[in-house]
Amino acid sequence: MSTPAKVVLDGLSLTREQVLMIAHGTPVALAPSALKRVQHAADFLAEQVRREEPIYGVTTGFGSNADKLLGGHRVRDELPGGNPEPRSESLLEELQHNLIITHAVCVGDPFPAEVVRAMLGLRINTLLRGHSGIRSSSLQALTDLLNAGIVPVVPMLGSVGASGDLAPLSHLAIVLLGGGEAFYRGERLPGAEALARAGLQPLRLSFKEGLALNNGTTLMLALGVLALARMQQLLATAEVAAAMTLEAFAGRSGAFVEDVHALRPHPGQVATAARLRSLCAGSTLVDIPYHLVPRFRSWLPESWHEPSDQAHRFDICWDYVPPGQRHGREKFYQRFLPFKGGKKHQPQDAYSLRCVPQVHGAVRDAYDQAGRVIDIELNAVTDNPLVFPDRVGARQIEDQVISAGHFHGMPLALVMSYLKAAIPVLASISERRLAKLLDAATNDGLPPFLIGNEDATDSGFMIVQYTAAAIVNDLATRAHPASVYSVPTSANAEDHVSMGANEARHVLEMTADLSRVLALEIYTAAQALEYRQDMLNAARTLAARGEVVHFIEKISNPPREDSAGYAQFRAEVVQLMQALAERAAFSPSPSVLAAWSRVRAHIRFMHRDRAMDADVREITRLVADGVFADLG
């Protein structure tokens, strides 16, 4: 399906996908029916001004100045000496102009172009609802700015989230007036010069147009849409990472079966369990009988007899459970052979594996709730006052131009707080799985730090976990909700604010670090998975040769050949060999194998220590690019 040449905006049907298209360069067009609504409201407002009706932000001041009515001209103009800076605009027009130029006071680095383009698209769309009083010609000028590729410089810090994103939106609008700064074709320029190079003229604002341009939740909404897009990709990637790690552990699938989750049907939990089942479908590693899984033993020159086996970077072994230690467990050893390898004799995995549906699913529910709120906000009107030119039963101007609080960002701020708290949770469980893979006490028979280390010179993947732990700690310290801490503004006229822009900016920034943690888990899981598969297949190959004496060398505590129990021991070794030989080659599921192959296409297996910085850069790039998100 081809991408449309333009996104048609009508104020009613904008989607997150369309916002992303605009953010990444797709131009927009305005629906004619929406422009009629827009002009109808603007004409109505102009008529009320002509009739000298008192209207907040049109014929009165703003905020704490709302009780001051504007006159026909400045008071100073009547005094001796006149006005030292005379203006050609009417006082009503000057009010709107001043609103923009005095509110553009953000600081910090500029937002990326994708954020600013999303803001422009969202602002145009909300104004198309026809309740803001802006003229259709002014809205077309804003559209021309976006389509010309002009990206206003919007510094990151300065919004308190009510009255909306005043300061950032003023930076967006000031370029339209020929002020501020903008990027044009990669060059940072004064706003007037950017307009001139694009062949555009500065705009002169009319009644309420300053308020229409800078009053609303546009920045936090743009950040939220971009953050959700990244979270969608990262949730899918996190499930792939968990499946890879589960396979590397030769883990158990019982915790993911459909009947289990029908008993506690949280939507995210059910969806995560279903995806894990899909990702692991066809695996011959998951749910392996305990006795088949060997554990790692350091390679020695005498570890393998066949020349073809000398390429192995490991030795393998099992412990034997003699008859005298089976008392009270006879039924278990009728089902499983009396050998202890890498897998513990327990029916459940650690929480970081077993509880993936509950933990990842809860994060998915946070994501879904944020999506529901954002989808409503995409086509909402969020400025103030609201213009209702055709409201039935209106008796006075206050019934048709209504001051309300749609600019307040708390609906967005709270769901961003929810998502902000969820991000460290997803990163933390990923780091715990990574840590388990490296620890010989918890990795079910894999080598310590996933390296052979036969010469005691190698650290393997040890420090990968340090980096993940540092990121998780940083994410946790940034998870405090900004939305719970209001700082009143505008001389207490705006006495409760949302801080939603800070919240959404934090979430978008935190997704980058979550991506890095998941990348480190996938990087580590690929190494572990390869070890697990190779060790199992080495055991299978050795068993298939039928050389019992060589297989007995892999038992770490065999009874003496002259002991009474040796014949039974040998018979049980033969049973183990037969069970292994009858198995097909051990392999992860097709989905997990595809994920592993995508890693190995860029990063080779680490036989012994090497510089890992290039590997880490590459795996973080792959995850950021969404390479693993489409599997399963």
Task: Report the alpha-carbon distance of residue 367 to residue 213 in Å, rounded.
Answer: 29
Considering only CA atoms, which of 512, 517, 538, 524 is closest in space to residue 596?
524
Dihedral sign for Cα 351, 353, 354, 356, please: positive
Dihedral sign for Cα 255, 256, 260, 262, please: positive
Task: Report the alpha-carbon distance of residue 549 to residue 531 in Å, rounded.
Answer: 25
Task: Report the alpha-carbon distance of residue 212 to residue 123 in Å, rounded.
Answer: 9
Task: Report the alpha-carbon distance of residue 336 to residue 372 in Å, rounded.
Answer: 50
* Locus of tokens 């077993």: 354
Task: Report the alpha-carbon distance of residue 208 to residue 95 in Å, rounded.
Answer: 9
What φ, ψ does residue 297 adopt, rounded to 5°? -135, 140
Tokens of 103: 């509110």
Burial call 348-358: b when 16+ CB within 10 Å, e when fewer: ebeebbbbbbb
- Active site residue: 56, 184, 290, 367, which one? 56
Dihedral sign for Cα 557, 561, 564, 566, please: positive
Are 191 and 181 in contact by the 8 Å Cβ rule? The answer is yes
Taking 3-state DSSP, the helix, strand and coil percentages for the chain, each rounded to the nearest 5, stand at 55, 5, 40
Tokens of 316: 């393998």
Task: Report the alpha-carbon distance of residue 322 to residue 555 in Å, rounded.
Answer: 12
Helix axis angle, 590-600 to 613-624, nearest 10°: 130
Instruction: Tell me, yes or no, if 56 is annotated catalytic.
Output: yes
- First vs last Cα of the chain: how many Å apart? 22
CA atoms within 13 A on the CB side of 562: 0
Quick check: helix, strand or coil at residue 562?
A: coil
What single-letter amino acid sits at 195? L
Are 365 and 270 in contact by the 8 Å Cβ rule? The answer is no
Task: Report the alpha-carbon distance of residue 214 to residue 103 in Å, rounded.
Answer: 9
- The gap from C-alpha 346 to its chain's centroid, in whole angstroms, comes to 35
Are 402 and 385 in contact by the 8 Å Cβ rule? The answer is yes
Task: Report the alpha-carbon distance of residue 426 to residue 234 in Å, rounded.
Answer: 10
CB atoms within 10 A of CB 627: 20
Task: Report the alpha-carbon distance of residue 117 to residue 26 in Å, rounded.
Answer: 10
Quick check: helix, strand or coil at residue 377?
A: helix
Peptide bond into 80 cis (omega under 30): no
* Locus of tokens 């743009």: 222
Angstrom distances, CA of residue 293 to CA of 481, 571, 632: 46, 19, 26
Quick check: helix, strand or coil at residue 166?
A: helix
Considering only CA atoms, which of 206, 287, 280, 291 is closest in space to residue 250?
287
**Which DSSP helix (H) or strand (E) runs through 227?**
helix 218-248
Task: Compute the chain's Rg from CA coordinates.
Answer: 33
Instruction: Give catalytic residue positions.
Output: 56
